[in-house]
Chains A and B, each alone.
Chain A
Amino acid sequence: MDHAITLDGYGVRLVPLAPQHAADLAALVDAELWAGMTVAVPDTADAMGAYVAAAIATPGRAAFAVLGAEDGEVRGSTSLYEWVPAQERVELGSTFYGREFWGGVTNPACKLLLMRHAFEEAGINRLALRADSRNARSVAAIERLGAVREGVLREHRVAPDGSRGDTVYFSILAREWPAVRAGLLARLPAKH
């Protein structure tokens, strides 16, 4: 869906995902990096353009480009999706970053900015995250946040290679956000 949410902090800037981001995003991805997703890897500008267009057109999805705050460099993309304001719930996912941004502040910064927006500004009571059960990196990252594992959706998703896999489902409730926030802040530089 169209949105106008822009979030800044901790060295990153999240802006609405737009067609102009497609070429830079395409340069960041490869099949291995994309393995936890559910669509074919969009590693050409055209394919990524289609991915971006679909993301923007999806109802209930606010898609973002992740930029470096200082240099405006495109680092990746992430989304709030299945956003149901009347039910005060949303999911956070479809996240990818270029490899050079792995293991640094980009992911915790994005998580902090998006979750803070969801819980503190948008009245969210339940924020869920999912991962392909075979994507150990993603599962570990979500667990590290302190999200609560709720169950496994069996044979839920089709991976880019066409295989079916399970989806592990996690959530953070509003009352749990303070502890999650503290954990994220501890991973980020004090000065931002």
Chain B
Amino acid sequence: MSAFPGLWFSDAVEHNLVLDGHGFRLEPLALAHVGALAAAVDEAMWSGMSTPTPRGEVGMVNYVEDTLATPDCLAFAVIDQVSGEVRGSTAFCALSHDQGRAEIGRTFYDRQVWGRVINPVCKFLLLEHAFSTWGLFRVSLRADSRNTRSIAAITRLGATYEGTLRGFRLAPDGSRADSLSFSILEPEWPRVRAGLLDRIDPLRRIVVAEEGGRAAGQGG
């Protein structure tokens, strides 16, 4: 006996938010992005996500439609502004202006751009919008406990670990996995922001230091 009502989807959450800077543009996720995103996905890189691996373009169409139908979720395709290529996807989810909070998640990137600046840039653009434009107080992030790459990335941001949600995700292989929960609060954003900018533009630290040195040497 199942007491579940039928699957419930809201109307697709349409948004027109575009965020850009530091060589990347986040634009509303759409079916037009399916081809490029499907090519970016493989089983191994999807293993830390909370949905089964989208297989081929059909699978990615389902993933994109499911994402677009998720309430309170603003999803983006991540575009390399120089090449025009779609390099990944990410989203604000569980956005609540009343509660002053949102989560960043549903993030994946093409392997070819791993380890470079795409993630710090996307995190910078999303967090800057969340804290500085929307005036949110809290942004949370979650990672599958087995996704060491993701945990390392979130920790490197400077987010604070808050606890482990036991058996939160049904992993693509059918097992139940824990999710680690992290957050960044508004008073912590300046420090996180500086850390991201240092990673996005390592030369910036030298420039800032030089300017500081020049200023200190002047006057008096």
Contacts and interface: CB of A to CB of B under 8 A. Distances in A.
A152 B162 contact: yes
Contacts of A128: 165
A1 B5 contact: yes
A59 B5 CA distance: 11
Interface residues on A, range: 20 to 34
A8 to B, nearest CB: 13
B183 interface: yes
B164 A158 contact: no
Contacts, number: 85
Nearest to A87: B170
Contact of A150 (B4, B98, B166): B166
A60 B69 CA distance: 13
Contact of B8 (A59, A125, A153): A59
B87 interface: no
A125 B178 CA distance: 12
A156 B5 contact: no
B4 A173 contact: no
B65 to A, nearest CB: 14
A82 to B, nearest CB: 9
A5 to B, nearest CB: 5
A85 B4 CA distance: 8
A86 B164 CA distance: 20
A117 interface: yes
B170 A121 contact: no
Interface residues on B, range: 20 to 34
Contact of B160 (A87, A154, A171): A154
A158 B98 contact: yes
Nearest to A57: B10
Given A2-B5, A171-B166, A153 B10 contact: no
B162 A1 contact: no
B145 to A, nearest CB: 12
Interface string B150-176: 000000000010111111111000001
A140 interface: no
Q: Which of A2, A60, A85, A156 has the most CB of B within 10 A?
A: A156
Given A125-B176, A150-B164, A151-B163, A5 B3 contact: yes
Q: Which of A2, A5, A164 has the most CB of B within 10 A?
A: A164
Contact of A121 (B3, B50, B100): B3
Contacts of A150: 163-166
A169 B162 CA distance: 10
Given A1-B5, A59-B8, A156-B138, A151 B162 contact: yes
Contacts of B140: 153
Interface string B1-44: 11111011010000000000000000000000000000000000
Interface of B: 1-5, 7-8, 10, 50, 71, 98-101, 137-138, 140, 160, 162-170, 176, 181, 183, 185
5 contacts: A60-B71, A126-B168, A150-B164, A156-B99, A158-B99
10 A-B pairs with least C-beta separation: A151-B163, A150-B163, A151-B162, A126-B167, A59-B71, A5-B3, A1-B8, A87-B170, A173-B167, A3-B5
